[in-house]
Amino acid sequence: MIDVVDLTKSYSDLQRGTFVAVDHVSFQVGPGEIFGLLGANGAGKTTVLRILSTVLKPTSGTVRVRGYDVVSQPSEVRSQIGFVSNNTAIYDRMTATEMVEFFGRLHGMARDFLAERVDRLFEQLRMNDFRDCPGSKMSTGMKQKVSIARALIHDPPVLVFDEATLGLDVMVARNLLAVVRSLRDSGKCLIFSTHIMSEVEKLCDRIAIMHQGRILDTGTLDQLRSAHGEESLEELFFALLSRHEATPDGSIDFLVTDSRAFADTHNLENSSHAVVSEGSE
Amino acid sequence: MTLENEEIGNVESAVEIATPKWKNVWLIYAREMRDQLRDRRTLFTIIVLPILLYPLVGTLLLQIAQFSHEYPMGVCVVGNEHLERLPALIDGESFSEGLVESKQPMELVKYSWNEFENRDDLATASEKWVRDGVYDVVVILPPEMANALDPTVDVDEARATEATSDREPNISPINVNVEVVFNVASDQSLVGRDRIAAVISRWRDRWVSRILTSRKVDASLLQPFGVLPRDIAPVNVREAAFWSKMLPFVMLVWAMTGAFYPAIDMVAGEKERGTLETLLCSPALRGEIVWGKLAAVTTFSMMTAILNVGSMLVTSTLVFRQMSMGANGVFTAPPFIPLLWLIIALVPLAALFSAVALAVAAMAKSSKEGQYYLMPLMMVSLPLVLLPLMPGTTLGIGTSLIPVTGMFLMVRALIEGQYGAALMHLPIVFCVTTGALLLATRWARRQFESEGVLFAGGEQWEFTQWAKRLWLDREPYTTPMQSYFAAALVLIALFFGKLAVTSMPNTFAGIAQLIMVPQIGLILAPTLLMAIICTRSLRLSLRLVIPKSPLALPVALLLGITFHPLYVLLASWVSAIYPISDSAATAMKPFAEQISAAPWLYVVLLMAVLPAICEELAYRGFIFGGLVREGAGLRAILVTSVVFGISHGVLQQSISATCMGFILGWVSLRTGSVLPGMLIHVTNNALSVSMGRIAEWDWQGIDLFIKSSPGGPEYQPIWTVIAAGLTFCCLFYFALMRTNKESFFGMVFPGLSTVASDSKLARLY
């Protein structure tokens, strides 16, 4: 479903000069899977996901979503993706229904079908009691639900959650995770980025640990645990980070083990074939 | 809170893959309109304020008018008692009947001469009265007036008495002045001065006619004829003359204001609230977002303009009627048809302002930052609206070429009923407006496609860090930002340099200095300095690259020669459209004389070689090199041409230089080098300064090219035609030649270049 190969993104920045935010990142996510991007703030998670949602353009490398290229076929990619981020706010002067309908209409959905779909989504997400409430009057939890409804309105096969639990209270965050899980169960392909270890542990099928724009290691939680001999994810995370810092040119070392591990566990060849054939259909 | 498989369902069938583009634009437009109409602040500034503002101002005006009506003018007359023998100036408590025309009341106070100790005392007192506002005007009639010409004296009788008596009769006028003390700082006093001047003038007329009558001369001889002014303009045009200036101005200023605020809210505001990213990851294309937002901003801009003008018209009509100023037919509502023209013209102009406002607002990270950009934008656009208001600015080819101004003047012509003139200039105005609109929308679109603009972080700017980065991140050649900066630096330096020159030198050495200082000090020096500080390679940043094609330089030389007749033709057209003022021509005369008298080699070095080197290194070298990056060839050509044009200072020269800049820029783009342009520039300038000398050559064949005429040497028309053909061939050569991109990048990445060119060669053969 999602196929990221050798993705690099660099910016120029006053403090750091030319700054590589994402450095040769590769990963794949299949349907019915939650892929967790774990990393501290500034690790490059948001940049990866913004490129995935075609908001930013990659400096080099390719990103394909269900076979569509993010650079050459951005509108097709966007029709396949629902993007929920801490940065994707909702309009203050629109009601929940208007907001969700607006994005449904942008996706080219027919009016009567859209109304039905909105009703169903609002029912499922329990949003009916604030359907006509303007964005400025909503609580954080309500806003989050509107964002999710907005991302789900066109029933995309791929969903991207970028730090979506940031700033939510415990109840709302827990509800969000439940929604994410149920989406996985319905066969969606999900990417979930966060810096909260416990969320990853509870939720994600596979994890990529990002640091300074690079993926240090990737695999299922169990694979990572056994590969690094650490039981808790937190210890594992910091062990990886400190090893990375200790290696002067740590990237090569890790890339080798990384890709080997990746190929072993996920069978890179087959999955990429699958993606290509899917896209060409 | 669970979602089941079936529940989510298969929506795919309902998602139309090929969405009609205009539908999304409409959706975004409708959303923005609704959003803005729900915003109380926007509604207030754009709709409520104008509706309230004008009636309020109108009411205030009425109050002030009433106040000023009732306020009588204070006039003090000193020394009336000397005037017994003269026609009466004052009758009782007011001026004599017939002397005062206006109905405005006057409060007259009389002082006699002996109430003051001496003249100084009187002067001090009167100054103090006027300064303190005790009286608005003080009229001092000096006692000498009593000795002035006595109108009742019979001339013959007086002459007769002269012979017998010692007393000198007053038969000849003496020099006496009536002093009117006023204060220019007070409006009331200024008005008073004019009214008193009129009173005194009429009084003097009476006096003169009495003298003439007493001498048996017919007083009507003084006025052998009268003047009867008759305005042939129909009443509606007379009204239009007022409104045609006023209305477009008010409307355009409001159109600007009405565009700025929604534009800031729709881009900077959305960035700040985080909704822009939501929209950007929606299926709407960037283009659709820009068009939708642009349409919404334009609608608001037009609404603001129309509401303001409408409210102003209604209020002013009512207020002026109240103030009974409508009698002369000026202050009635304008006819309906002109208003229609105005609204039609408003559409493209509002769209233009909106596109510029959107593009500028996109640079701001928050609404507050957006507000800061308003002022500079206003300052830049206001002159375009103010220019048509200047007296004597009429619709012509020159003025119609200026964006906004041209449209303004055309609307004015339409309102005044000059349909012929308006129709004649319509194509130019249409093209200019369309061009400006296209550029502005393109800019807005580019802003929305630029990640740097949309996702700029809230980084703190710090000088030392910036300077460090500037040095550490030097690239082999210029960045676009550095190019813009260099262009601004050169233009500002030239502007101040021009201010420093106060007189035209009249020696050749003086002229040499006048040319060399700006060329070397103000154009070349800043360029070199920037190239040294900001880039790693002088050769690459100044684009001192040998063009790959061996023919490029000879063809450039040929182009320089063959283009010159066209350049001369262009210059003559330009001076026909925008004639050079006589004063400028006289100022240039000693200059031209010195040049034609100086040794030819010096002149060529000074006026051809030096400017070609300095200007080309700056414009087609450093500045062009940065702007041409990112594949923006058009940008590089346009910007360098305009900067090159502006740097010439004189309008007529600037226009031809800008056109020349297009050719130079294009050749520079095709060859990737500064050298061909330099060659064209040298040739062109050298021919310009040597045409007179060439025409005097002994060689017979020269007559085929250049003929002498009373206005100076001219190209033979046949040669001009042939040269045009050759110019076209040269340009065609540059169009066909392999671009020098490979070799230029080859300088930066030597390895890559060979690979690229080899593979290209391999493909060719």
How high is the mean pLDDT of chain B? 80
Four-residue CA torsion sign, B422, B423, B425, B426: positive
Q: Please give the C-alpha separations between residue A95 and each of A102, A118, A133, B31, in angstroms, as whole numbers.
A: 10, 13, 5, 12
Decide: B633 and B672 in contact? Cβ < 8 Å: no
Q: Does B462 touch chain A (CB under 8 A)?
A: yes
Question: What is residue B7's predicted lDDT score, i.e. its pLDDT?
Answer: 38
Q: Per the CB < 8 Å rule, is B12 touching A85? A: no
Length of chain A: 281
CB neighbourhood size of B736 (10 A)? 8
User: CB contact, 8 Å: B13 with chain A?
Assistant: no
Of B418 and B618, the one with more pLDDT: B618
Cβ-based neighbour number of residue B545 at 10 Å: 20
CB contact under 8 A, B5 and A83: no
Residue B169's pLDDT is what?
A: 46
Chain center to CA of B398: 13
Which of B249, B257, B299, B258 minimizes the C-alpha distance to B415? B249
Identify whether the C-beta of residue B259 lies closer than 8 Å to the C-beta of residue B353.
yes
Mean pLDDT for back-to-back runs of 10 residues, chain A (281 residues): 90 71 90 89 87 89 91 87 83 91 90 90 87 88 88 91 82 84 89 87 88 88 84 82 70 41 38 35 30
Phi, psi values for residue B454, rounded to 5°: -80, -30
Chain B residues whose CB is inside 8 A of the A92 CB are 273
The 10s digit of each residue's pLDDT in B424-478 is 888 889 999 999 999 898 888 888 888 777 776 555 667 777 777 777 777 777 8
3-state secondary structure B145-195: HHHCCCCCCCHHHHHHHHHHCCCCCCCCCCCCCCEEECCCCCHHHHHHHHH
Output the pLDDT for position A194: 87
Round to whole Å and give the CA distance between A109 and A154: 8
Of A13, A57, A126, Cβ closest to residue B1? A126
Asked if B32 contacts B265 with a C-beta cutoff of 8 angstroms, the reply is no
* Residue A25 identity (one-letter amino acid): V
Paired tokens of B500: 């420093």
pLDDT score of B70 more than 50: yes
Q: Confirm if B308 and B316 have CB atoms less than 8 A apart.
A: no
User: Do B281 and A175 count as a contact with CB atoms less than 8 A apart?
Assistant: no
Of A91, A105, A152, the CB nearest to B35: A91
Sequence-ordered list of residues with C-beta below 8 angstroms from that of B423, at least 6 positions apart, any chain: none
| Tokens at A138, concatenated | 């909503």
- Strands in chain A per DSSP E: 2-13, 17-29, 33-39, 60-65, 68-69, 81-85, 158-162, 189-194, 206-211, 214-219
Q: What is the predicted pLDDT for the residue at B763?
A: 37
CB contact A186 to B (< 8 Å): yes
Is residue B346 classed as helix, strand or coil in its secondary structure?
A: helix
Question: How far away is chain B from the Cα of A114, in angstroms, using its nearest Cα?
Answer: 9
Q: Do B451 and A56 touch (CB under 8 A)?
A: yes
pLDDT in tens, B279-322: 888 888 888 899 999 999 999 999 989 888 888 888 877 777 77
Q: How far apart are CA B266 and CA B277, in angstroms?
A: 12
CA distance B154 to B149: 11
Residue A12: list chain B partners with CB under 8 A.
473
C-alpha distances in Å from residue B757, one per residue of B540, B737, B740, B742: 19, 14, 11, 7
Residue-wise pLDDT tens digits, B563-597: 998 998 888 888 888 887 787 778 777 777 887 78
CB-based contact A17 B469, cutoff 8 Å: yes
Looking at residue B478, its amino acid is T
Asked if B15 lies within 8 A of A89 by C-beta distance, the reply is no
* Percentage of chain B exceeding pLDDT 90: 10
Token duo for residue A135? 């964005």
Distance of CA B64 to the CA centre of its chain: 34
Question: How far, in Å, CA of B244 to CA of B238, rounded?
Answer: 10
Burial profile B178-193: b = 16 or more Cβ within 10 angstroms, e = fewer? bebbbbeebebbebbb
Contacts of B15 in chain A (CB under 8 A): 79, 107-109, 154
B259-272: b (≥16 Cβ within 10 Å) or e: bbbbbbbbbbbbbb
Tell me the Cα Rg of chain A.
19
Looking at residue B735, its pLDDT comes to 85
Please check whether residue A143 is in contact with residue A88, taking contact to mean a CB–CB distance below 8 angstroms.
no
Element (H, E) at B74: strand B73-78
Distance from CA of B466 to the nearest CA of A (A): 6
In 3-state terms, what secondary structure has residue B11?
coil
Classify residue A90 by burial, with Cβ atoms within 10 Å: 0-12, 13-18, 19+.
buried
The string of pLDDT tens digits covering residues B218-261 is: 877 777 888 888 877 666 666 666 777 778 888 888 898 888 88
- The interface predicted TM-score of the complex, written ipTM, equals 0.82
B713: closest CA among B504, B585, B572, B556?
Answer: B572
Q: Name the residue facing B15 among A14, A17, A108 (closest C-beta).
A: A108
Q: What are phi and psi of A36, to 5 degrees?
A: -100, 130
B152 neighbors B85 (Cβ within 8 angstroms): yes
CA distance A235 to chain B (A): 32
What value does the mean pLDDT take over residues B690-700? 77
Per-residue pLDDT band at B67 (split at 50, 70, 90):
low
Burial B89-114 (b: 16+ CB within 10 A, else e): bbeeeebbeebbeeeeebebeebebe
Rounded distance between C-alpha atoms, residue A68 and residue A157, angstroms: 13
Exposed/middle/buried for B436, CB within 10 Å: 0-12, 13-18, 19+? buried
pLDDT value, residue B765: 32
pLDDT of amino acid B245: 76
Phi and psi torsions of B96, nearest 5°:
-55, 155
Among partner residues B11, B283, B284, which is closest to A117 by beta-carbon distance?
A: B11
Alpha carbons within 13 angstroms on the beta-carbon side of residue B144 total: 10
> Could you tell me how many CB contacts below 8 A there are between chain A and chain B?
130
Closest partner residue to A18 (CB to CB) among B12, B284, B473 is: B473
DSSP B733-748: HHHHSPPTHHHHHHHH
B4 touches chain A (CB under 8 A): yes
- CA A50, CA A160: separation in Å to the nearest integer? 9
Sheet of A158-162, strand order:
A81-85, A158-162, A189-194, A33-39, A206-211, A214-219
Q: What is the DSSP string of B407-465?
A: HHHHHHHHHTT-HHHHHHHHHHHHHHHHHHHHHHHHHHHHHHH-HHHHS---PPP-HHH
Distance CA B696, CA B647 (A): 33
pTM for the complete prediction?
0.68
Residue-wise pLDDT for B340-382, tens only, equals: 888 888 999 999 999 999 998 888 888 888 888 878 888 888 8
Residue with tokens 């939680």: A221
Residue B422 predicted with pLDDT over 50: yes
What secondary structure, in 3-state letters, does B200-267 show? HHHHHHHHHHHHHHHCCCCHHHHCCCCCCCCCCCCHHHHHHHHHHHHHHHHHHHHHHHHHHHHHHHHH
pLDDT at residue number A63:
93
Q: How far is CA B66 from CA B53, B60, B72, B100, B274, in A?
A: 20, 10, 12, 21, 54
Per-residue model confidence (pLDDT) at position A97: 92
Nearby residues of B625 by Cβ (< 8 Å), 6 or more positions away: B477, B478, B483, B540, B541, B542, B543
For residues B400 and B380, what is the distance between their CA atoms, to the nearest angstrom? 18
Q: Which of the four pLDDT bands, split at 50, 70 and 90, describes residue B398?
A: confident
- List all residues of chain A from 195 to 234 with a beta carbon under 8 Å from chain B: none
**Which pair of structure tokens corresponds to residue A269?**
């060849």
Q: What is the pLDDT of residue A14?
A: 61
Other CB atoms within a 10 A radius of the CB of residue A222 amount to 8
Average pLDDT over residues B188-194: 86
Closest chain B residue by Cα to residue A113: B14
Q: Do A81 and B281 touch (CB under 8 A)?
A: yes
